[in-house]
Structure 1
């Protein structure tokens, strides 16, 4: 299993968590509340956490190709929901377990 964490700095973390989770729930299994979310993609999963100043992503997958798919989905959707004032995700180095 490979894990990867990322962060998007924003004071609207809870708002974006809600938007992302509601959007993902149209196609995949998602659970969420105001501060946490869990999205189960066919190729891995991502746990979301909204803080006061940032939205955190904790992703895991069986292999690096699947992890890259999760990163791509997260990055594209963060951009899509913030196009007027684009936000980016800063990723840490992947960890193998």
Structure 2
């Protein structure tokens, strides 16, 4: 398995977690509450945890290509949802 994680420092973590899960739930399986979320894509799994200070995002896939695709999907949607607050998701390099 290939994995990566990131943290977005924001007091709106719970809002973004719910928004991402609700959005993707129209096409893939997603489960969430105000503090935890999980999205099952064909290419991998994304889990999230939110607290008063941050949104923690963890992605896992079977190979690097799928992981890169999953990271791109999550980033593009997060960045779109958070643009008003000028939040941008950054994945670690390497």
Give the TM-score taking structure 2 as reference length: 0.92
**Greater share of helix:** 2
Gaps of 5+ in 1: none
Report if the CA contact (8 A) 2:2-2:67 is conserved: yes
Q: Number of matched residues?
A: 94
- The CA deviation at 1:7 is 1.4
| Structure 1 stretches of at least 4 aligned residues deviating more than 4 Å after TM superposition | none
Higher percent of residues as strand: 1
Residues 37-57 of structure 1: CA distance to partner in whole angstroms, max 9, x if unpaired?
000011000001002111111
* Runs of 5+ unmatched residues, structure 2: none
RMSD: 1.3
Q: Relative contact order, CA 8 A, sep 6+: which one is greater?
A: 1
Counterpart of 2:61 in structure 1 is 61
State the Cα deviation string for residues 1-41 of structure 1 (Å, max 9, x = none).
01100111110100111111000101100010110000001
Structure 2 match to 1:18: 18
